[in-house]
Amino acid sequence: MRRAKAKHLNRRQFIRGAAAAAGGLIALPTIITSTALGTGGRVPASERIVLGGIGIGNRGSHDLRWMLPEKDVQFVAVCDPQRKRAEAVKKIVDTRYGNKDCAIYHNTPEFLAERTDIDALLVTTGDRWHALASIMAMRAGKDVYSEKPSCMTIAEGQAVVETAKRYRRIYQTGTQRLSEGNFTFCNEMLRLGRLGEVHTVRAHIAPWDAAEMRHDWLPAEPQPSKEEVDWDQWLGPCPWRPYNSTYTRGGWRGHYDFHTSCIGEWGAHTFAQCQVGMGAGDTAAIEYGYVKNESGDGMVTKFANGIRMILERDMDKKYWRGSCGVHYEGTEGWVSAADGYSKPDVSSPAMMGDFRKIVYDYQARTQRPMSHVRNFLDCVKSRRQTVSNPVMMHRTMTTVHAANICMWLKRDLRYDPVKEEFINDPEANRLRSRAMREPWII
């Protein structure tokens, strides 16, 4: 019995015992609260995941509200170079918990160094910071849930994979449709062979902006005080640009310095959905066919397994009716899904006969819930790989980046997923990475 109890000692109990053994040199409270014990339906403090956040804006607030109701989560601090945004997050958190405990930080390295109590971080900055913040957090011993697109370049994706492996960190990228029933059903129909031999999948790209992004910058405005907006922190690894408030309100999209184009905007989701469905989540497309338009609409990419993935804006709603749609075509039928669907579209009503069973069987086989956040939190505890793990993120984002490079160079490309380089194309290979501004380097 003594050994069984000892096995379940947590860190706080160990410290308390060590203090007692030292002759009471350290004063510790003798009253243990009901909150700490986990009574009243709460999870004991020793079993809670202490969570923090970096750069939580509009999308990040959605993720945060998704996480806060989880009983085994305690959100304690937010780091953001913009004072107003940090205060808005603090208000959300403090209102949820009925206190004023959420701490605010503005400097990411200082935040990571000081908050050694934090187990995991929600990273929902603008695209430019996703990979760097995730790498810094994992080096500091934190698990990471990062919004998409999770890297700006192929090299950044490689660095995220290497860091997670080296520091044994749990990582989830925010491709949440991989944890939704409709999209899971479509992927399982493909995996189970219900569509026959699948020859084509179609992936939605954003129906706005272009693949070719702006290389200029907005005119300078008077720079606010560092206490209001730490502009150096906001820019992070990007080239120095003069302050303009439009950037801080989301106007960085469409600029090469900050964005991954219309292809990355939704392709970060839909390429992941398609590649996981076709069993290619650990590789990337090997061929990219240039199309003479501004967006990449209609580009045909090919995988080593023979399946074609076609980039579609689908303005006439031929393949789906909502955003971030996917469409899988095989010799025995087709399926498709997009946001807002009550159920997938199928070529034959009979396919929907065992919808619930297929989704249930997927959950039983993978031990994954139909909740992206819950999958992450469960994996933080179990140390199992998440559904949107670093390798899957990097490989599917490689397809995104390669498609962009194809459009920028205006020529067909071939890619070797094993060597992770373009074949016989030095110019394309130079675009696998970007210079990072010191000290914001990997």
pLDDT in tens, 326-375: 999 999 999 999 999 999 999 999 999 999 999 999 999 999 999 999 99
Using left for φ > 0, alpha for ψ between -120 and 50, and beta otherwise, residue 166 falls in: alpha
Interval 42-47 mean pLDDT:
73
The model's confidence at residue 41, banded by pLDDT at 50, 70 and 90, is low
Q: Cβ of 428: how many Cβ atoms within 10 Å?
A: 21
Q: What is the pTM of this model?
A: 0.90
Query: Residue 18: what pLDDT?
Result: 39
Residues 230 and 247: their CA atoms lie apart, in Å, by: 13
Q: Are strands 326-330 and 333-337 parallel, antiparallel or unpaired?
A: antiparallel
Can you spell out the DSSP letters for 386-420? PTT-HHHHHHHHHHHHHHHHHHHHTS-EEEETTTT
The model's confidence at residue 45, banded by pLDDT at 50, 70 and 90, is low
pLDDT over threshold 70, residue 259: yes
pLDDT over threshold 60, residue 210: yes
Residues 207 and 321: their CA atoms lie apart, in Å, by: 13
Q: Can you state the angle between helices 58-67 and 83-97, rounded to 10 degrees?
A: 20
Tokens 């995996």 -> residue: 191
Q: What is the mean pLDDT of the chain?
A: 92
Interval 6-27 mean pLDDT:
39
pLDDT over threshold 60, residue 260: yes
Please name the helix (run of DSSP H) or strand (run of DSSP E) that holds residue 21, with its range, or none: helix 11-21
Q: What is the largest CA-CA distance in the chain?
A: 78
Contact 164, 338 (CB under 8 A): no
Interval 57-78 mean pLDDT:
96
Residues 127 and 150: their CA atoms lie apart, in Å, by: 7
Residue % of the chain over a pLDDT of 90: 88
Cα 191 to the center of its chain, rounded Å:
24
Q: Which residues, in sequence order, are CB contacts of 101 under 8 Å at separation 6+? A: 76, 94
Q: Are strands 333-337 and 413-416 parallel, antiparallel or unpaired?
A: unpaired
CATH topology of domain 177-211+259-370+390-430: Dihydrodipicolinate Reductase; domain 2 (3.30.360)
pLDDT over threshold 90, residue 182: yes
Nearest Cα to Cα of residue 110 among 73, 77, 159: 77
- Tell the burial category of 31 from Cβ atoms under 10 Å away from its Cβ (0-12, 13-18, 19+): exposed
Residues 63 and 125: their CA atoms lie apart, in Å, by: 12
Amino acid code (one letter) for 359: V
Residue % of the chain over a pLDDT of 70: 90
How many angstroms separate the Cα of 378 from the Cα of each of 47, 122, 146, 305, 388?
12, 15, 16, 32, 13
Interval 412-439 mean pLDDT:
97
Interval 112-140 mean pLDDT:
98
Domain map (residue ranges) of the chain: 1-32, 177-211+259-370+390-430
- Tell the burial category of 84 from Cβ atoms under 10 Å away from its Cβ (0-12, 13-18, 19+): exposed
